[in-house]
Every structure is written in structure tokens, then in C-alpha cells.
Structure 1
Amino acid sequence: MSDFRLKVFRSVAKNLSFTKASQELFVSQPAITKHIQELESTYQARLFDRQGSKISLTEAGKLLLEHCDRILEDYKQLEYEMHLLHNEYTGELKLGASTTIAQYVLPPLLGSFIRKFSQVNLSLLNGNSRGIETALQEHRIDLGLVEGIYRLPNLKYTTFLEDELVAVVHTKSKLSLPEEITPEDLQKIPLVLRERGSGTLDVIERSLSGHNIKLSNLNVLMYLGSTESIKLFLENADCMGIVSIRSIFKELTAGTFRVVEIKDMSMLRELCFVQLQGQEGGLSQAFMQFAMHYDRKL
């Protein structure tokens, strides 16, 4: 059975539409139907119930969907490891990463990469997202890793992880806040936030705009250049910060910080690789492929 046939089934099953699967996979609708029919023939079972223009999964379809993602992941892992057998990577790879990624995501990944590709000379530039994109455009780095929501048209972005921002206060803070607040409450609470140009602040601004609140409406005591400085600031000031959940995990577990929920205001973002358009391949591609297979540990 080909992995593409499984991809067709997964797309139809998750969209519950042959038309949407056709659009998603850039394959004709008759070809989608043929792949599903061949799967049904292989298993001698109907995978979908058809009621007019609507479809639903049969019990056999639900069973196949349960296994589908794992099988496709195994195919992907096999292809990756077979590829490694025939390639020895050497040379220099200059990475650039925004602060959150450099501090809380990359270190274990870099260690594993160096063990696997000992002949590669790896370096890392740290800065905020806008600075990393500038370094890439000026050819000071080969591959960037950034957070945030804004995209420059001459750069190519590839998502590799999802992240969430949360509002936190120190448990010894004199700032009295309930477990949940409203977006409007943010305008009255003293805050410490990341600096302009950071992907973190981009996401906060976008989330606020969904509630018709401007950054200038907030009571921001300080803008700081790193999450670590925000955490130290919070230990010594009665205010609230907004940071990546990845950056505060240990402190939440230890009970030194607590999360303050903001009602109906999610602050989700994608962590992305960023490259110059048309310059894919080589060590940059090898690092991206390695990270994509490592991401289950991140």
C-alpha cells in the first residue's frame, strides 16, 4: 500500500469531503475516488457511508484513521533514515534564532544534531525575530528560526512547532488577581512585555486587536529584551508578564509562578524556519529535516 493512498484517505476522512481532499492534495476528484475504492477493495470493507452529498466514516474507516497517522509517520521516518545512509554532511551551517527559540527550544535539538553530524561546524546567532530575518537577508546566517505572525514576501517560512503565550504572575506578588481575567482587565494591570521587534509582542498585539484593544492602551511598566529578564523582573515587581508557556514550565511546576487565564483570548503562534526564497537544500535542509523528526521531543 502506498503512503500517498493513505494520505488521500486521511484527507477525505478529516475533511469528510472528496472535493476538499481533491483541493488539499491537488489531485482530481475521480483520482481521489479511485484511491478510496482501491483501499476498500484491499480491506474488503466500506470506509465511508454516503448519504447524498454527505459522507461519514464507517467503523472500518474509523479503525483505519486511528492507525493512519502513525503509519504515515513511520513511512516518513523510514524515508529520512534511508536517506541518511547515503549522505555524509560536512561544512558550516550558520543558524539564527529568536530569543525564545534559542533559549527554550534549540539547545537539546542542537546537541542531538551535533552528535549525529559531527563533521558539521554549527554556529548560532541570537536576536529577536525581526533581527533574525534581517541577518538572513544580509547573508549573515544560512537558516533562521523565528516566532510571530508577520511574514516577509521574499522569505520562505516553514512551521515546525506550535507555541502558546500565557499571562503569569509571581506567587509572592502583592498584585491581587483572580484565576481568570477579561481582555479589558489588561488595560488596568501593570505589565512587563517583550521588546518591539519580538515575535512575542507581535502575537500579543494581534490578540489584543481581536478585542479592539491597542498596545498603547495597556499599562506597560517595562519592555525587556528576553524572557529571562521578564521572569527576574516579575520576582521583584508587583506586575504581570506574558511569556511562552515553554519558558515558564519549570517555574509553574515548582510553584513560583502561576498562570492567569485571559477569557476568550488565546495567544497561539507558530515557530517557523525561515529561508531566502530559492535557496533551499544543503545543510539547511538537512537541519530542517532533522528538526522535523526530533520535534516530538520538544
Structure 2
Amino acid sequence: MSDFRLKVFISVAKNLSFTKASKELFVSQPAITKHIQELETQYQVSLFERLGNRIKLTKAGEILLEHSERIIDDYKRLEYELNLLHNTHSGELRLGASTTISQYVIPALLACFLEKFPNVRLSLLSGNTREIESALAEHRIDLGVVEGIQRTTGMKYMPFMEDELVLITSTRSRLSRFDEISLYDLPGIPLVLRERGSGTLDVFESVLQQYAIKLSSLNVQMFLGSTESIKNYLEYSDCMGVVSIRALQQELTAGKFKIIELKEARINRQFCFVQHYGQEAGLASAFMQFASHNKKL
């Protein structure tokens, strides 16, 4: 029902590339160009500024992007709510979620989904991002929800929700005297981090690499397999840890932990649905729609 030209424009605007938009939407590059030209003709504006081999949004493009995303979201919600009137889902859905998501994000969604669709048999496998992707590849689950930045060939990744990783320490630690530190101070600070294969560590390591800091140069006292383990360890040590902001609501309210700001950057990441290419319908699709429309639970 929604205008496909807006989807094309959003893809080009997000990727700042006609070629990448073509691959993302499985549409030829001339067709991508044609859709953009039609929008520019319709609104009598230039949406992109050409800078050699690069492009950037014009002011008109920024305005159209803001409204286009809202329009597409409204269309999705309309279709979803109308479909709910005649859809009675049943069957088995095997979900897998990386540790942070399975502990702090998805439980409320699962409860509400089962309340809405009581004839669905639901199971949840928890593990780090690599483990969830392996389970999907081996067809032990139907849909994954992961937090890393690595991408596995043959799998399709779809954005779900935004997240932020933060540096924390116990309010009882001597390190709590800091309000802010530099990334370049990290080698001199004892750290507790998530294990190899976790999306949290992948994202943190990628930020370090942007500032030419090697993970091996850090003073990592321990790699632990869950955020809860990190929080429990930090309560009794003079260390800092990197965890999702979503895992800290109760502890921050209770005054147990303090967030230490990083001077150079905020560590933002995106949770994603992941499934095999071509797997577009069924309960997995129904759950993705439900979760996307109810992610503020």
C-alpha cells in the first residue's frame, strides 16, 4: 500500500549510495535512479547533492527523510492492525536471542505475544550472538534476535531497536570518583568484559579500532558470559565494565552503579532480527511485526 518510491528514497538516504540501495532492495540501479528523479520532479527539489563519487542529503532531502520514515511506519502499523482483525496465528515458533536481549528486552514481548496469540507454542534459546546465528544456520530456531555487528553470509538482518553500551563501575569503587574518562585511559583501568562471540564485545572492539586501540592492550581482568555476571563482579571489585543501558535500570535507581562517560564517543548499536533469506512469512514474520510495534513495553 505504501509508496515504493519512499522506500527507495529512504534506502538511498540511509546508505548514501544508489548502488547499496539497489542491492538492499533487489532493484536495478537505473530503477533506483528513476524513482529518485520522479520524487525530485514531483516536489521540484534536489534531494541529493553529488560530491564526486559521493552523495549527501540536501536540506529538502533531510525533510523528506524525516517524513518518509514516519509515513512508512504509519503504513506498517495500519497494515498490522488491520491484519490482526482476521489473523489467528497458531503453531510453533522457535526463537533465539542473544543474552542481553533474552534477559532485558524480549520477556515482556513474549508474554504479550502469547496473550494475543494463545494458540502459538513458543520456545526461546538464549546464547551469545555467534551461538544464536549457529542455531539458525542449523535450523534449530526459526528466528534470531541479535546485538552484534558481524554479518553471516546467507542470513538477512532487519533492524529492531536501538541500544547503547555504557561504561560503569560500582558506586563503592574507588573508580567512581571519575565522571568522564578518555578511551585512551582504558589501558590503565581494570576491566571486566563480555566473552568472545558476544555482540557486546564485537561492538566495543569496533569502537576501539576506530581510535587505533587494540583490545589486547587493555587490562581485562576477566571475560564473563553474561551481563548479570559482570554486574555481580563489579559490585565487589575496583573495575569497570561495559554493558547495555537496558540492563541497569534497577541498579541505577538504587544507586549501585555509576555510568562513566567516554569523552570521544557514545557506543550506540542496533538490535536486529536475523533469519534465512527467503523466509518472509509465517509465525516468524508475525512475531517481528508484533515486536516492532510493541517494543516500548
Is the CA contact 2:162–2:271 (under 8 Å) kept in the aligned structure 1?
yes
2:230 corresponds in structure 1 to 230
Matches within 5 A, 1:233-272: 233-272=233-272
Are 1:181 and 2:177 matched, yes or no? no
**Contact 1:188-1:219 at 8 Å conserved across structures:** yes
Number of equivalent positions: 287
* Stretches of structure 2 lacking an aligned partner (at least 5 in a row): none
**1:91 equivalent in alignment to 2:112:** no
Q: Percent identity?
A: 57
Return closer, same or farther for 1:37/1:152 CA change in 2, 3 Å cut-off. closer
For the 8 Å contact 2:2–2:75, the answer to whether it is kept is no
Q: CA deviation at 1:31?
A: 4.7
Residue 89 (structure 1) shift: 1.1
Partner letter of residue 151 of structure 1?
A: R
What's the TM-score, normalizing by structure 2? 0.82
Per-residue deviation, 1:9: 7.7
Once the two structures are TM-superposed, the CA of residue 63 in structure 1 deviates from its matched residue by 8.5
Q: Which amino acid aligns with 1:234?
A: L
After superposition, the CA RMSD in angstroms is: 3.3
Q: TM-score, normalization: structure 1? A: 0.82
Structure 1 contact 96–125 (Cα < 8 Å) conserved: yes
Report the more deviating stretch, 62-71 or 155-164.
62-71
Match of 2:105 in 1: 105
Cα deviations across residues 232-253 of structure 1 (Å, max 9, x unaligned)?
Answer: 1111111111101111123223
Distance 2:134 2:35 in 1: 44
**Alpha-carbon contact 1:193-1:241 (below 8 Å) kept:** yes
Aligned residue type for 1:186: L
Residue 283 (structure 1) aligns with: 283
Instruction: Mark the runs of 5 or more structure 1 residues left unpaired by the alignment.
Output: 41-45
- Stretch moving more, 249-258 or 84-93: 249-258
1:33 to 1:263, Cα distance in 2 relative to 1, 3 A: same
Residue 114 of structure 1: how far off its partner (Å): 0.8
Query: Do the aligned partners of 1:207 and 1:266 also contact (CA within 8 Å) in 2?
Result: no
Assess, with a 3 A threshold, how the Cα gap between structure 1 residues 9 and 147 changes in structure 2: closer, same or farther. Answer: closer
Q: How big is each residue's C-alpha offset from its partner over 1:52-86, in whole Å with a ceiling of 9 and x where there is no partner?
A: x999668xx99887765444322221111222333
8 Å CA contact retained: 2:146, 2:272: yes
Is the 8 Å Cα contact of residues 169 and 239 (structure 1) preserved in structure 2?
A: yes
